[in-house]
Amino acid sequence: MEIQPLKISGAWRIVPQQFADNRGTFLETFQQPKFQEATGRSLEVAQVNTSISSAGTIRGIHFADVPPSQAKYVFCPKGAILDIVIDIRTGSPTFGQWDSVLLDDVDRNAIFISEGLGHAFMSLEDGSVATYLCSTTYSPTREHGINPLCKTIGIEWPTEDRHGNPISPILSDKDREAPGLNAAAEAGLLPTLALAEGFVNGQK
C-alpha cells in the first residue's frame, strides 16, 4: 500500500497492492499502521456510509463545522467515480483550489480527506458504489454545502462516462441551491486553516 499526499494539504491518495489469481483478487483497503505512518494520525471510524449513483450524479460539495467536522476515507468497490477534495479553509495558501483521484473497481485507489476540507464526487458509471469511512456520525445541524458548479472553484467535471458516453451533471436540489464559495465565506460558514489544523493536530 502506497499513501501519496495530494496538492491540498490534509488529503492523500491510497494505492493498494492487489493480489490476483484464478480465484479473483485480494487487497487491503485500509490498514491503520501504514495510514498512521503516512499521515501522522489515526482514523477512528464512527460511521460507514454507502451511496449508489447513476452516471453523471454529483454529490457535494459537502463539509461540516470544525470541530469536530468529519474526516472521510473513500473508496469505490463497484463502478467508477471522480473524487474531488476542495480546500475551503480560509487563510490557506491553496484556498479555493481542488485536486482529484479516480476511484474505481480496477485500480481500487482510495482517498482520505481530513477535517475542514470540502468533498464531492461524480459517478462515471450507472450503479457506482462509494463507501465512506467517517470519523464522526452525521449531524445535520453541522453540515453545509457549496455548489459543485461554483465558477470560483471551477471544478472540471467530466463530460463522458468511463465508456466514453456523454453525461451531464445530476444534482440534488440541496446541492444545486447551495451557495458558491465566496457567498459561503461571506456567510461565515467556512473553517479557517488555523482552526482546522489545530483540530487535526489534536487528533494525532
List active site positions.
Answer: 62, 132
Residues 6+ apart with CB under 8 A from 122: 56, 57, 58, 81, 82, 84, 157, 158, 169
φ, ψ (nearest 5 deg) of residue 197: -65, -35
| Single-letter amino acid code for the residue at 14 | I
Whether residue 192 contacts residue 90, with contact meaning beta carbons closer than 8 Å, is answered with yes
Q: Report whether 27 contacts 108 (CB < 8 A).
A: yes
What is d(CA 18, CA 189) in angstroms, rounded to the nearest whole number?
A: 41
Residue 117 in grid coordinates: 476540507
CA 8 vs CA 56, 112, 151: distances in Å: 25, 11, 19
